[in-house]
Structure 1
Amino acid sequence: MAGERGTVSERLAREFFDEMDALARAPLWWVSEDMKKLCVDTVENGPLPPVEPLPTATGLIVFEGGVVFSSRGMADVPVAAVSWERAGSMHGGVPGVMIRLFGDSMRNAMGRLMDKSLPIAPMGTIDDETLDASVITLLSVAFALMGQPSVTAVSESRWDLRRDGPQPRSMTQAAKVKMIVLRPPARTSMGNGGGAGRRAPDHRYIVRGFYRNQQYGPNNSLRRRQWIPPYVKGPAGTPLIVKESVRIWRRL
């Protein structure tokens, strides 16, 4: 039965489009393929950084190439992007933040709300608290690594007329996209006369992080656990090889 504000379907549609309007003005992040691999490896193998609130009240983060999650209801959930909004609670999900998943597959899109011309679209609701927790963990790791200048570099994306074509008027006031990439490894002497018979690796690899007891206070008499973030080692320009499958299935 329709009320003063319309039917249930109409109210849900209005709420969805209000959410998308807010998202159009929200901060945007783009995570490169290699940076994504480092984030996923940290989620799967740890150790995880200290839990911190997400940096903004709303936002959208896109992972280049997507991330495949596992869920009770679906064998694989390919996720291209995640939006969030701070909230009092979430229906069966993670308290304190409401998330929405975006994918590039028609199979998981929100039916009639799917615009076939878009590269990604909102996905239908997946009622799985474990999936929600895994997504939140990935976001937390991504932003923790973004705060490590020795590991990552952040730059603002700029519209390139030759590369991107004419910029739509609707995008002239859109939030600037922050590009998150791995910082190139420091130059080493390997391969320039260093150890005889030793050959430089033909790929990059992840050196995983750890926790250590850091001294502080009067005469360094106190100790606290300090997270040492992971980083990537190996010659710049070579592929980043991760032995484990890029897939998150973690019961938190």
Structure 2
Amino acid sequence: MSHSIPSHDDPSPAYRPNAAIGTSIGLRREMACRVCRRILNTYFDATGRLRHLHPAARTSYDHDPDPVPSAEVAGVARSCDFCSDRYPVFRLDSGPVQALALGEDDSSVHDFGTTWSACITCTLLAQASRSEALTQRAVTRMGWADPTIAAEAVRAIHAGVVGTLRPGRTLLTDVHWPHSPVTATATALPKVRDRLTALLTGPDRMDLLEVRQRQDIAVSLQGGRLFAVDDEFTDLACTAATDLPATVLDVEDLPAPHGLLLWANPVAGGVCAASWASTDEGIRIVSYRGVGGSAGVADGPAVQALREQVGWLIPVSHRLLVHGEAITCVDGALAVLAATWLLIAQRTGETVSVAADRSIRKAYARTRRPAPEVRLVRIRGRQATGPRETRRGEAREPQAQRRWISGYWRSQPHGPGRALRKDIYVFAYLRGPADAPIAASTTVRVLAGERRRPKPQ
């Protein structure tokens, strides 16, 4: 399908076609700018030479396009191909869309391909065949006057996309959303899990996971335990992960065979949550980023639609940890997850059951589901109930800070009359009142599983 649009040589951004990408017809791969990481438009000039063009933007670019395959660019800066919102959610498929750009002396063919990134609002408008509403949203957000040549060109392109739109949509998993912490993290976690399960079992496509994998992960989520990690424990796990040795984990090393864990703050790569499922092949782990919390979804209807149709989490990586495979400090979020597990297992942390939000408990009761149980993971501290005495019998003030006490071996009496001795390992812990800050000099050194504990001499 072709539409006439102004020449690409016109310097004004308002006369460029709206951001549109895709696997271009005949090119078979998506191109991005090496400098700004934006997906580029593709066109053929009057001589038939392949050219690339930045998508429309509110301000002009300070560099020429430097095209490379988008797969070679870390952190591609995608935008909605309809309104230029910075945080698209879905990829839509249409028939081939081309546009003929007519200049005074030459012409060119712009090839927009068949795939389109869309924010949640534009996704719903396109799927409802509201082509004119799409155009009005784009014109408003770009600050264009209407009618103008540019607005009419965009209107024609949008009509071409909506008129040939194919059923279904694909969740985008490579968009770097800003972190949006879940309000009342621990108490809202059951609702977060339910939305994630609905996303995995729903009709939306995902390039990251196969349908069978999604179903298996959803089943393990429903039968797994929920863990909300507080901010202090999250910081501790991140620090510990930097020194994590090659560690082989078995099912008995996990806090539960299946589970979903939500960190208070993002860890490596912006990951804020992870789920795991114990299988015959090994441990299947999925990492998630948060969605929402950006200016692009600041309006109430868009937020509501995002939460209802996507939820709070989207999967961004998937790995099957086979039996005997080691995790090391270079494994990013996976290393932080392993460190979190080990810290829990080594009694550095304690898990406290908390009640889900009242509205969530009522929703579970209406569907005859048992009330969900959530475990809050926090640093275990040794509290002093009052001032301690010195060797001279004088009262000593409670510690003002918590300090990390390294693990050590201790000879423990046992047996009849406590006449026998055995060496037990005292796990590392934080000494001091639970509400006291952690000393700045605190460092977490090498973590190790049961099989790597030091042997007494």
Classify the TM-score, shorter chain: 0.5 to 0.7
In 2, the alpha carbon distance for the partners of 1:194 and 1:8 equals 63
Structure 1 residue 9 displacement after superposition: 6.2
TM-score, normalised to structure 2's length?
A: 0.36
Q: Is the Cα contact below 8 Å between 1:155 and 1:178 reproduced in 2?
A: yes
Alignment of 1:158-237 (within 5 A): 158-161=355-358, 168-169=363-364, 172-173=369-370, 175-183=372-380, 185-189=383-387, 194=395, 201-212=399-410, 220=420, 223-224=422-423, 226-237=424-435
Cα–Cα, structure 1 residues 11 and 241, in superposed 2: closer, same or farther, change >3 Å?
closer
Q: Is the Cα contact below 8 Å between 2:229 and 2:378 reproduced in 1?
A: yes
**Which residue does 1:3 correspond to in 2?**
none
**Which residue does 2:277 correspond to in 1?**
85
Q: Any idea what the Cα deviations from partners look like across 1:2-24, whole Å, max 9, x if unmatched?
A: xxxxx996981343144224312
Q: Is the Cα contact below 8 Å between 2:265 and 2:272 reproduced in 1?
A: yes
Q: Any idea what the Cα deviations from partners look like across 1:171-216, whole Å, max 9, x if unmatched?
A: 954641122234552224169x735xxx765433322323446566
In 2, the alpha carbon distance for the partners of 1:227 and 1:48 equals 21
**Which residue does 1:104 correspond to in 2?**
290
Match of 1:56, SS state, is: coil
Cα–Cα, structure 1 residues 60 and 20, in superposed 2: closer, same or farther, change >3 Å?
same
TM-score, normalised to structure 1's length?
A: 0.59
**Which residue does 2:229 correspond to in 1?**
31
Q: Specify which of 58, 64, 69 is matched with residue 258 of structure 2.
A: 58
Q: Any idea what the Cα deviations from partners look like across 1:32-91, whole Å, max 9, x if unmatched?
A: 22333444555556899996432433111222224x33xxxxxxx2332221111233xx
> Which structure is higher in RCO with an 8 Å CA cutoff and minimum separation 6?
1
1:156 paired with 2:156, answer no
**Which residue does 1:124 correspond to in 2?**
317
Structure 1 residue 166 displacement after superposition: 8.4
In 1, the alpha carbon distance for the partners of 2:368 and 2:401 equals 38
In 2, the alpha carbon distance for the partners of 1:34 and 1:123 equals 25
In 2, the alpha carbon distance for the partners of 1:101 and 1:165 equals 24
Q: Which amino acid aligns with 2:343?
A: A
Q: Is the Cα contact below 8 Å between 2:361 and 2:372 reproduced in 1?
A: no
Match of 2:437, SS state, is: coil
Structure 1 residue 155 displacement after superposition: 2.9
Match of 1:157, SS state, is: strand
Q: Is the Cα contact below 8 Å between 2:276 and 2:284 reproduced in 1?
A: yes
Say how many residue pairs are matched: 209
Q: Is the Cα contact below 8 Å between 2:284 and 2:320 reproduced in 1?
A: no
Structure 1 residue 231 displacement after superposition: 1.8
In 2, the alpha carbon distance for the partners of 1:190 and 1:220 equals 31
In 2, the alpha carbon distance for the partners of 1:230 and 1:200 equals 20
Cα–Cα, structure 1 residues 41 and 99, in superposed 2: closer, same or farther, change >3 Å?
same
Over alpha carbons, which structure has the higher Rg? Answer: 2
Structure 1 residue 98 displacement after superposition: 1.5
Identity %: 19
Structure 1 residue 105 displacement after superposition: 6.0
**Which residue does 1:112 correspond to in 2?**
none
Q: Which runs of 5+ in 1 are unaligned?
A: 1-6, 70-76, 90-95, 107-114
Q: Which runs of 5+ in 2 are unaligned?
A: 1-204, 293-304, 322-326, 453-457
| Superposition CA RMSD, Å | 4.7
Q: Which amino acid aligns with 2:344?
A: F
Q: Is the Cα contact below 8 Å between 2:404 and 2:428 reproduced in 1?
A: yes
